Amino acid sequence: MFLSHFLAFFVLFVQITLGDVFAGCFDPRILPTPEGLSYDSYLESCQDICRPNGTDYSYSYPDPADQGDFPTLRICQCGFDQPDGQYLIPTSLCDYPNIQVFYLPSPGDWSFSGCLYLPGTPSTQVTSLVQCLNLCNGYPIAFTVYVDNHIFCSCTLTIPNPDDLQTVCGLGDWFVYSETVLPSGFVAKKRLAKDGDQGLCPKGLTACRADLALSSSFDYECINTDEELESCGGCLFGQLHVEDGRSIFGIGLDCTQLPGVRSNGVTCLQGECSIFACDDEYSLHAGICVPF
């Protein structure tokens, strides 16, 4: 039993790390048809089967006919329908008869990172996972949560601590999607806090590369990343490491480049972009600019 559970988790882990957008584990009632195609998950994924069909979602579950000691056969179906959130199953294994669902034509470079319980998080109701990911384009993190048969979305500039992420995702839990590799960003942030600027800048300022094209040189400027609008929360082009001139990338944001933000409608406050005005075709909702 332990081995079969391990293999089920391994299949899900491999699929997620390949960059597919995991939408959740659901009750079989979400399936578009009663029957599907049997395939060997050791050789291919349901996503690989569905992509040539031009469908939006893949649905897969263990093949009950596979009774071997090392079961790898699964059943695959393809479809266009966003799963109904009221059928979400809170499990990390998603074993038989439950259904693993992935969204295929991912907008951008989003990947699933895990889940968090974040009660009271400001959010916007959306019709699908893809609408949320499109809405959060330009932000490092997107959250979605299923509440009954509704989906809510939140975009954030704050990268969660990977130690807080959970693999069991149920109703009321926020699915966390990132456009960067979340653990690497977090490690970089801890390293910055540990290393500091080693005397290159006055206390409270960080030695930031002046430009991406100059990342192999020693040109830098001293920046207060808690307040700098164009390098908010960290160095936009990397921090200069004094010992060997290396750059550490990945945590700074240019607040002025966020979608729909008016040029004079944002500030950097304690290392996070704080939006207070949007362009004419956008409205401010839950801390982000949302198109009409």
pLDDT band, residue 276 (cuts 50/70/90): very high
Cα dist from 159 to 75, 175, 187, 271, whole Å: 35, 13, 11, 12
> End-to-end CA distance of the chain, in Å?
51
Q: Which pLDDT score is estimated for 195?
A: 42
Categorize the per-residue pLDDT at 279 as very low, low, confident or very high, splitting at 50, 70 and 90.
very high
pLDDT in tens, 55-85: 889 999 999 998 877 888 999 999 998 899 8
Mean pLDDT is lowest, of 44-58, 167-181, 236-250, for 236-250
CA 112, CA 178: separation in Å to the nearest integer?
A: 7
One domain for residues 37 and 169: yes
Q: Are strands 220-223 and 141-147 parallel, antiparallel or unpaired?
A: unpaired
Model confidence at 184: pLDDT above 50: no
Q: Are residues 118 and 202 in the same domain?
A: no
Question: Could you tell me the residue range of the domain that residue 28 belongs to?
Answer: 2-180
The total number of structural domains in the chain stands at: 3
Amino acid letter, residue 269: L
**Does one domain contain both 206 and 111?**
no
Residue 232 pLDDT more than 60?
A: yes
Q: Of 20-24, 97-101, 115-119, 250-254, which range is least confident?
A: 250-254
67 and 95, same domain (yes or no): yes
pLDDT, tens digit, for every residue of 26-52?
999 999 888 899 999 989 999 999 989
Distance CA 88, CA 149 (A): 10
**Residue 245 confidence (pLDDT):** 39
pLDDT at 163 over 90: no
Which pLDDT value is given to residue 67? 80
Q: Please tell me the predicted confidence (pLDDT) of residue 249.
A: 45
In terms of pLDDT, which residue wins out, 125 or 17?
125
Q: Are 8 and 95 in contact (CB under 8 A)?
A: yes
8 in the same domain as 81: yes
Question: What value does the mean pLDDT of the chain take?
Answer: 78
List, for residues 81-139, the tens digit of each pLDDT value: 889 989 999 987 888 899 999 998 766 678 888 899 887 788 888 988 988 988 888 78
Q: 124: which 2 tokens?
A: 């916007």
Using CB atoms within 10 Å of the CB of residue 70, give its burial: 0 to 12 exposed, 13 to 18 middle, 19+ buried: exposed
**d(C-alpha 143, C-alpha 154), whole Å:** 5
Phi and psi torsions of 13, nearest 5°: -60, -45
Does 31 share its domain with 175? Answer: yes
Same domain, 50 and 149: yes
pLDDT tens track for 217-228: 456 778 888 888
Structural domain ending residue among the three candidates 164, 180, 196: 180
Other beta carbons within 10 angstroms of residue 86's beta carbon come to 15
CA-to-CA distance for 183 and 179, rounded, in angstroms? 12
- ω before 97 within 30° of 0 (cis)? yes
**Both 89 and 199 in a single domain?**
no
- Of 126, 152, 180, the position where a domain reaches its end is 180
102 Cβ contact partners less than 8 Å away, ≥ 6 residues apart: 15, 20, 21, 22, 23, 46, 47, 57, 58
* Neighbouring C-alpha atoms within 13 Å toward the C-beta of 82: 14
169 with 45, same domain? yes
Residues 6+ positions from 109 with CB-CB distance below 8 Å: 19, 179
Among 166, 192, 167, residue whose Cα is nearest residue 249: 192
Report yes or no: 73 and 63 within 8 Å, Cβ to Cβ. Answer: yes
Whether 260 and 241 map to the same domain: the answer is no
Structure confidence at residue 89 (pLDDT): 93
Q: Are residues 102 and 171 in the same domain?
A: yes
Say whether both 36 and 73 belong to one domain: yes
Domain boundary among 149, 180, 211: 180
Q: Give the rounded percent of residues in the chain with a pLDDT score beyond 90.
A: 24
- Residue 205: predicted pLDDT: 82
Q: Are 88 and 146 in contact (CB under 8 A)?
A: yes
